[in-house]
Amino acid sequence: MFCAVWAYVPTAANSQEKQNLRVVFTGLAWNSELPFRIALVRGFFKAQGLDIQPIFVRGGPAALAALSSGEVDFAEIGGAQAIMRSRARGLDAVIIGAISNATNYQIVGSKSTRTLEDMKGKIIGVTGAGAFSDFAMRTFLRRKGIDPDKDLMLRAIGGSNLRAAALEKGIVAAAPFAPDDTVRLTRLGFPMIANLSDTLAIPQTILTARNEFLEKSPQTAKGFLKALILGIQLAKFNKVDAIKAGFEARLQGEPDFVNLAYDLYAPALSGDLSVNMSGLQFMLDEDKRNGLIDAKFTLDRVVNDKILKIAQQELRAEGRLK
């Protein structure tokens, strides 16, 4: 069903019994992975008595399937809508924290499409109909006074490599990209038209778990969240050490590109894993308006941040939370 890309197994530095946790991811980009990788290589999980096995799968549905079946304990997923919709259908999956509280996409145009006005009447690529990139683009365009159904054409192209190829071949006039791809494309002469994170305070990369697990293992969950908070603190507030740790943890990329991409995504990182509830509410309201979620569904059914708040309180008391 899924395959492990790599596993981090700390040495037995002490006799404390450790909790083995499996964590699933749907991407390997710096903007989503850096806080977790920092927590691994800097020993933050180990200090909480935790052994972590990271798992990589392609796509949110596979990650949710692994989570709901109990094959993994935590999942990091891009886009909160999938969790809200799954929870509304009865799946035991809740949002417990946020890595990014803003949309980590930039719109990159073709060499003849350099402004939002230039995009009108042209084909704009997105991952797929109903995907987070499609939702983000539609929301951004409406806020800029552009009707995504009348003023231009959104077309499902696929993943970032396919969108980049379509842009380079002139199949699309523009498309949203993650920071790493944005830097690479701008180096090739393609213009960055807009940074969506400047205007879309909508959680993109979120942490999920099962309520059943949280109820049975609250101390383990608290330790996991404390370690990850320390990782995201370093990622957000210490660029040099954060990037160094990322390379130590085997994240890939050319140093110049990594440095430039960091400046695009770091401001959107959640400093302490807190979830932007207003952004989630906006997404939920849109799903209700489109008939995808029952009108009576409320955020408290999909967000469970009780343990996160305890973890934050303990770190504050320890003087370790900025």
pLDDT digits (tens, 9 = 90+) for 272-307: 999 999 999 999 999 999 999 999 999 999 999 999
Is residue 123 within 8 A of residue 153, CB to CB? The reply is: yes
**pLDDT tens, 43-76?**
999 999 999 999 988 777 888 899 999 999 999 9
Give 146-152 contacts, CB < 8 A, sequence gap 24+: 146/116, 146/119, 146/120, 151/120, 151/121, 152/119, 152/120, 152/121, 152/122, 152/123, 152/124
Average pLDDT score, the chain: 90
d(CA 149, CA 84): 25
Res 11 pLDDT > 60: no
Query: 313 vs 80, which has greater pLDDT?
Result: 313
User: Which helix (H) or strand (E) covers residue 264, if one does?
Assistant: helix 255-265
pTM: 0.88
- pLDDT band at 9, cuts 50/70/90? very low
**Predicted local distance difference test score (pLDDT) of residue 19:** 85
Of 20-24, 79-83, 171-175, 194-198, the least confident: 79-83
**Predicted local distance difference test score (pLDDT) of residue 8:** 37
